Amino acid sequence: MEDIFTQVREGNAFHVRVWLDNTENDLNQGDDHRFSLLHWAAREGRTNIVDMLIARGARINATNMGDDTALHLAASHGHRDIVMMLLHNKANINAVNEHGNTPLHYAAFWGKDQIAEDLVNNGALVGICNKFNESPLEKAKPKLGSMLKERALQLGQDLQKIPFKDRSWLGYKTRSRDALLSRHTGIDIKQLNLSNQVAVTHSGEMYRGQWEENDIVAKILSIRECTLRMSRDFQEEIPRLRIFNHPNVLPVLACCNQPPDLVVVSQFMPYGSLFNVLHGETGIVVDQNQALRFAIDIARGMEFLHTLEPMIPDLVITSKHIMIDEDLAKINIDDPKYYRKTDGVVNGIDEDLSARINMADYKFSFHEKGKLFSPAWMAPEALTRKPSEINQRAADMWSFAVLLWELETREVPHADLTPMECGMKIAMEGLRLTIPPGISSHMSRLVKICMNEEPGKRPKCDMIIPILEKLKQK
């Protein structure tokens, strides 16, 4: 079988789509030189595939080993529609590669006049210099150079040369991921190089570790006695959690099935869970916009999980099960608002945070039977009736409403009650969250709609995402 990079290069859209639909495939993976699928599609001018990849959440500003972004490649190979598409999706227009070149350098050098003009029109700076102190204007043929200069002047650009700054320190954060990650399923616990214990929770003990040069967290499930049957069920359920094809879902990387230890391995997330970010002492400021971005991320992740057939059961959407990921390739780091001129450090770091539903928090069918530790986030019907007897998607929507409430109020839902008290009161006595004053009327209406007592009347994910997008723009 030809590998996916070849399929993308050759523009085999059908194969690419099938490949993307397989949850085990990570669309942000890179090849040996860390070219991502988006890089290849942009380079070869596969417009439809670029479109598909962007829609599936490809990292726009991911870099390869030479620190080229997809925009560099599209610009130098003269694919104007792709350049526009990337720009439209917040591609970093002044991205600098290892030689200090921007996309405009390449468009100018290769004589892609139209593209060069588009880039300047969209804010590409003509004064940026590469390592050899050459600006795009100097790389262009005289005629194009003077035309670009004129255009830049019209737009009010300062034509002063901007000297090259070494920013290779950013590289590791923006490069495409190692494709090897999604190829492993069962591994030996000894390979994990477990170091220190991070936490002990009801569901298991968490350890930090290193695996294939990645920071990982290993959760050793808390089990009284690991039976053969449990080990078998574990093996059967794990593959479904390896979801690499959605940016808002954090996959389980691998597992160790070594009774008495059952270990779930996932990527280490330095910021921890959303619960941690909102209620812990992380020092991260979550402003209104960031909260909305998180909400949209979660809704997208949920929407994706809801398309799976059959759905993955027993994954409760709570803020403890949402991980916060840092991804500089998501944003335009050369945007002046992120850039502190004095020391070259990225400013306002929260913009690059995204929320991902953590598949490692899935509750295995044999694990913690009969125990719900977060009833505050659960729909009343999910507390009283079997998962098989309720509409799981509608119940998730209720949980999402609780998350929205949490993001808005910055409070822990029913913080004053123990899980048993809280669950009994929700299930038996009609205890509900109240929306405090001071919440915007749009948001409080959205929370109310999603928390409809009638599961059938709650909206679907694809209905709320546009609403959230609109709220964000305001």
Partner 1 sequence: MATSPNPLTVGTPKKKDESFLDKIGTIGRKKKAKEASILEEEGKLAIESPTSPTIPDVGPEGYLLDELEERSMIEPTSKEDPKVQELIKILLDWINDVLADDRIIVKDILEDLFDGQILQKLIEKLADIRVQVPEVTQSEQGQKQKLQIILSVINRLLQLQWNQVRWSVDKVHSKNLVAILHLLVTLARHYRAPIRMPDNVSVNLIVVTKRDGMLQTKRIVEDITTINDDIGARFERDAFDTLFDHAPDKLNLVKKTLVTFVNKQLLKINFEVADLEAQFHDGVYLVLLMGLLEGYFVPLYDYHQTASTFDQKVHNVQFAFDLMQDAGLPRPKARPEDVVNQDLKSTLRVLYNIFTKYKGQGA
Enumerate binding residues for partner 1 (CB under 8 A): 202, 224, 368-373, 375, 382-386, 389, 418-425, 427
Residue 29 CB contacts under 8 Å (≥ 6 apart), including other chains: 36, 37, 176, 177, 178, 179, 181, 182, 244
DSSP string, 200-217: EETTEEEEEEEETTEEEE
Amino acid at 268: F
Place of tokens 């139209």: 114
Residue 156 CB coordination number (10 Å): 6
Spatial separation of the C-alpha atoms in residues 449 and 429, rounded to whole Å? 21
The values of phi and psi at residue 26, to 5°, are -95, 110
The values of phi and psi at residue 262, to 5°, are -115, 120
Q: Per this entry, what is the length of the chain?
A: 474
Question: Between residues 9 and 219, which has the closer beta carbon with respect to partner 1?
Answer: 219
Q: How far is the CB of 260 from partner 1 (least distance, A)?
A: 15
Tokens representing 459 are 């909206």
SS3 134: coil
Q: How far is the CB of 225 from partner 1 (least distance, A)?
A: 9
End-to-end CA distance of the chain: 48
The values of phi and psi at residue 366, to 5°, are -100, 0
Alpha-carbon separation of residue 393 from 217, 367, 407, 453 (angstroms): 29, 22, 21, 14
Q: Which helix (H) or strand (E) holds 198?
A: strand 197-201
Alpha helices in 242-357 (DSSP H): 274-279, 288-307
Find the angle CA(472)-CA(305)-CA(23) to the nearest 5 degrees.
115
Q: How far is the CB of 48 from partner 1 (least distance, A)?
A: 47
Q: How far is the CB of 314 from partner 1 (least distance, A)?
A: 11
Alpha helices in 164-250 (DSSP H): 171-174, 228-241
Q: How far is the CB of 422 from partner 1 (least distance, A)?
A: 7
Spatial separation of the C-alpha atoms in residues 270 and 291, rounded to whole Å? 19
Query: In sequence order, what are the beta bridge partners of 346?
Result: 339
Residue 65 CB contacts under 8 Å (≥ 6 apart), including other chains: 33, 34, 175
Residue 396 CB coordination number (10 Å): 24
Burial class of 463 by CB neighbour count within 10 A (0 to 12, 13 to 18, 19+) = middle
Question: Between residues 13 and 390, which has the closer beta carbon with respect to partner 1?
Answer: 390
Question: Between residues 65 and 417, which has the closer beta carbon with respect to partner 1?
Answer: 417
Q: How far is the CB of 374 from partner 1 (least distance, A)?
A: 8
The candidate with the shortest Cα–Cα distance to 91, out of 80, 101, 99, 83, is: 83
Spatial separation of the C-alpha atoms in residues 279 and 415, rounded to whole Å? 11
The candidate with the shortest Cα–Cα distance to 401, out of 474, 302, 326, 314, is: 302
Tokens representing 21 are 């639909």
